[in-house]
């Protein structure tokens, strides 16, 4: 198995399931209602929905970086606000998350291993470091979602 295939497998597991650490992002989001997703059980923390929007934003940004364009997200690009807390909007947010992940995973699977040592435009690290960071990003936010669901 190539290193890209291993990384793509870890991305897949962290997002869809069968991850070693526990529930994946999507496993944690199953059966979360719009009301629960929009809630702020911890006053100083983001809501589940805000975390979903943030994860989606980065899943869209990384393929841009893989194409050689320097991109940084800040403010509302990094943490898109929830402007409509309806059930339909929550379903759209979940679909957008899944689509962004599928597109990202497909882009990663197309990379040759030789790209892993390429520098990332505008950053001081390579593609290998960025892709592993992306897996870690999903796992970190999966942990947040798990805590927020208990609140």
Domain that holds residue 75: 3-150
Mean pLDDT of the chain: 96
Q: With pLDDT > 70 as the criterion, what percentage of the chain qualifies?
A: 100
Q: How many domains does the chain have?
A: 1
Query: What pLDDT sits at residue 73?
Result: 97
Confidence of residue 120 (pLDDT cuts 50, 70, 90): very high
Write the pLDDT tens digit of every residue in 10-30.
999 999 999 888 899 999 999
Q: Is 149 exposed, middle or buried (0-12, 13-18, 19+ CB in 10 A)?
A: middle
Read off the CATH number of the domain in which 121 is found: 1.20.120.450
Query: What pLDDT sits at residue 135?
Result: 97
Write the pLDDT tens digit of every residue in 23-60.
999 999 999 999 999 999 988 899 999 999 999 999 99
Q: E strands of the chain, at which residues? A: none
In order, the DSSP letters of 53-113 are HHHHHHHHHHHHHHTT------TTTTS------SHHHHHHHHHHHHHHHHHHHHHHHTS-G
Q: Up-side HSE of residue 83: CA atoms within 13 Å toward CB?
A: 3
Write the pLDDT tens digit of every residue in 52-103.
999 999 999 999 999 999 999 999 999 999 999 999 999 999 999 999 999 9
The gap between the terminal CA atoms of the chain, to the nearest Å, is: 41
């Amino acid at each position: 198995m190539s290193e890209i295939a291993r990384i793509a497998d870890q991305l897949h597991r962290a997002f869809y399931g069968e991850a070693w650490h526990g529930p994946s992002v999507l496993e944690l989001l199953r059966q979360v209602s719009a009301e629960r997703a929009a809630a702020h059980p911890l006053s100083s923390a983001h809501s589940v929905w805000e975390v979903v929007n943030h994860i989606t934003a980065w899943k869209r940004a990384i393929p841009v970086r893989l194409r050689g364009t320097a991109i940084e997200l800040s403010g509302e690009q990094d943490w898109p606000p929830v402007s409509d807390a309806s059930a339909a909007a929550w379903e759209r947010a979940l679909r957008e998350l899944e689509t962004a992940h599928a597109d990202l995973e497909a882009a990663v699977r197309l990379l040759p291993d030789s790209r892993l040592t390429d520098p990332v435009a505008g950053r001081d690290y390579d593609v290998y470091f960025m892709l592993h960071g992306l897996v870690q990003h999903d796992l970190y936010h999966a942990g947040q979602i798990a805590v927020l669901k208990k609140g």
